Structure 1
Amino acid sequence: MQVAELQGLAVHYADQGPRDGRAVVFGNSLGTDLRVWDAVLPLLPRGLRLVRYDKRGHGLTQATPGPYSIGQLADDAAALMDHLGLRDAVFVGLSIGGLIGQSLAARRPDLLRGLVLSNTAAKIGTPELWRDRIATVRAGGIEAIGAATMERWFSPAFRETTECRAWQMMLERQPLDAYAAACEAIAAADLREATATLRLPTLAIAGELDGATPPEIVRDTAALIPGARFEVLPGAGHLPGVEVAPAYAALLTRFLEELG
């Protein structure tokens, strides 16, 4: 187990591959931990330095009192990268991880040479939607949204598998206050102006059946960044690295090879 003490925050992370390899940093989605990348990493090219971490209040990373902000979460990512001496990295952000990636690229452009925005947008949902979500979980626990979240996360076929139940348990075991604090961060985030200033190679990935961040909002965010490429993965929901890992890894590999 790898844990870094970063400005008073204990951050759980996994650092795999040669220390002199090109760094790829993975930021996970709301309600998941770094295991969301388990099926993808073995399919990527050898020689990369692959860093995953649990964001504040998720997985084994310390939870702090909320609300959180996307800027704060981006600063956490930057602190981990500084701690590990990572530069010229590619950041792969999934859902809220994509918001973190956009903010990180704007705040610390010295850290990144490329950005992957997966199943995310510069603005996700409305403040009212997130306030309703927070009220629901505070009244009935995260279990109250478990089944509905699986419908947004996964295709109908995947929801019939036993593995889907494990992902629902991961969500429902999330600390409630930290989950609500992350929802507040998403509710307050509108990164459209900042994202439109980005000038780094970017790949945007959507899932055809994503009920949380549909392809059209991922495409609209990609359009803010000159030269960004937009791809849709057929048959995939909100977590394509879980459902269609080989196709997802192929897109990442192509993008990494283009960056050299």
Structure 2
Amino acid sequence: MDLDYRLDGPEDAPLLVLSNSLGTTWPMWQAQMADFTRHFRVLRYNTRGHGRSPLVDGVITLDTLGQDVIALLDHLDVERAFFCGISLGGMTGLWLNRHAPSRFERIVVANTAAKIGEAKGWLQRAATVRQQGMAPIASGAAERWFTPAYRESNPGVVKLLVDGLANTPKEGYAVCCDALAAADLRPDVAAMLRPMLLIAGAEDPVTTVNDAGWIAAQAKQAACVTLPASHLSNVACPAAFNQQVLTFLTAGAAT
């Protein structure tokens, strides 16, 4: 297994996979760890081209990122797991719900959409990064990720995440932009069969409340909640985020 990953929490607890947003690494989930590890063995991993997770030869697609999660489960000899992903990680969760439902009990996807943005914008962003590096992307990240009030109240947290984005390998970021340019799961949502919770940010300019609501209306077993956040709701509203995720993931017996 070449992906960069780590495990925390009780070895005999059910496994919960956490999947990061574009341009972040597994510390983005730190505010969830104390709560989540009370119930789960938590698997965090870094997406292809992020952290110490290497790129692979050829084109990376959303299929690649989804198959990486399945390969991790196989590597750990885990037949079924729970899943929570945000932004790009949330889109990975949607893909898993469509293409590998038998491997998951329940799935949470936050601040995501069945199609995120437009292909032209992602391809332009990838080209910018390849030509100019990560600085132009990092310079505007705080405004995309957090509300003005959160930025003012939590400058240290914001700086840590933006600095991490600035240090992301540019080709790793660019190939994931390419993957997002091509990714469109809108025709597949009605065939997503596992119980799923969508978490939206009320002030998210990237993946809107309407994007989440559309998925919830189309999927078979889906609900949607909104938190007072922008794009990184797990960071901005950790207590509410943790409560919503745990209430959903621990509800009733596995179905």
Determine if the TM-score, normalized by the shorter chain, exceeds 0.5.
yes
Q: 2:213 aligns with which of 211, 219, 226?
A: 219
- Aligned to 1:158, the other structure's residue is in SS state helix
Q: Structure 2 CA distance, aligned partners of 1:194 and 1:87?
A: 24
Task: Give yes or no for the alignment of 1:256 onto 2:253.
Answer: no
Shift of 1:66: 5.3
* Structure 2, gaps ≥5 residues long: none
Task: Give yes or no for the alignment of 1:105 onto 2:97.
Answer: yes
Instruction: Give the RMSD, CA atoms, in angstroms.
Output: 1.5
Amino acid of the residue matched to residue 233 of structure 2?
A: P
- Please identify runs of 4+ aligned residues in structure 1 that moved more than 6 A: none
- Aligned to 1:218, the other structure's residue is in SS state helix
Task: Give yes or no for the alignment of 1:62 onto 2:54.
Answer: yes
Q: 1:137 aligns with which of 120, 125, 129?
A: 129
Q: 2:110 aligns with which of 104, 113, 118?
A: 118
Q: Are the counterparts in 2 of residues 101 and 115 from structure 1 also a CA contact under 8 Å?
A: yes
- Aligned to 1:204, the other structure's residue is in SS state strand
- Aligned to 1:92, the other structure's residue is in SS state strand
- Aligned to 2:42, the other structure's residue is in SS state strand
Aligned to 1:208: 202
Q: Structure 1 CA distance, aligned partners of 2:221 and 2:79?
A: 22
Q: Structure 2 CA distance, aligned partners of 1:45 and 1:34?
A: 15
Shift of 1:107: 2.0
Q: Are the counterparts in 2 of residues 18 and 48 from structure 1 also a CA contact under 8 Å?
A: yes
Encode CA deviations 1:36-75: one digit per residue, 9 max, x unaligned.
1111121236241111111111122113355310001111
Q: Structure 2 CA distance, aligned partners of 1:138 and 1:83?
A: 33
- Aligned to 1:39, the other structure's residue is in SS state helix
Shift of 1:85: 1.7
Percent identity reads 37
Aligned to 1:84: 76
Q: Are the counterparts in 2 of residues 27 and 53 from structure 1 also a CA contact under 8 Å?
A: yes
Comparing 193-202 and 63-72, the one that deviates more: 63-72
Amino acid of the residue matched to residue 248 of structure 1?
A: F
* Structure 1, gaps ≥5 residues long: none
Amino acid of the residue matched to residue 164 of structure 1?
A: V
Aligned to 2:189: 195
Q: Structure 1 CA distance, aligned partners of 2:128 and 2:217?
A: 34
Aligned to 1:127: 119
Structure 1 pair 162/66, CA: closer, same or farther in 2 (3 Å)?
farther
Q: May I ask how many residue pairs the two structures share in their alignment?
A: 251
Q: Are the counterparts in 2 of residues 66 and 178 from structure 1 also a CA contact under 8 Å?
A: no
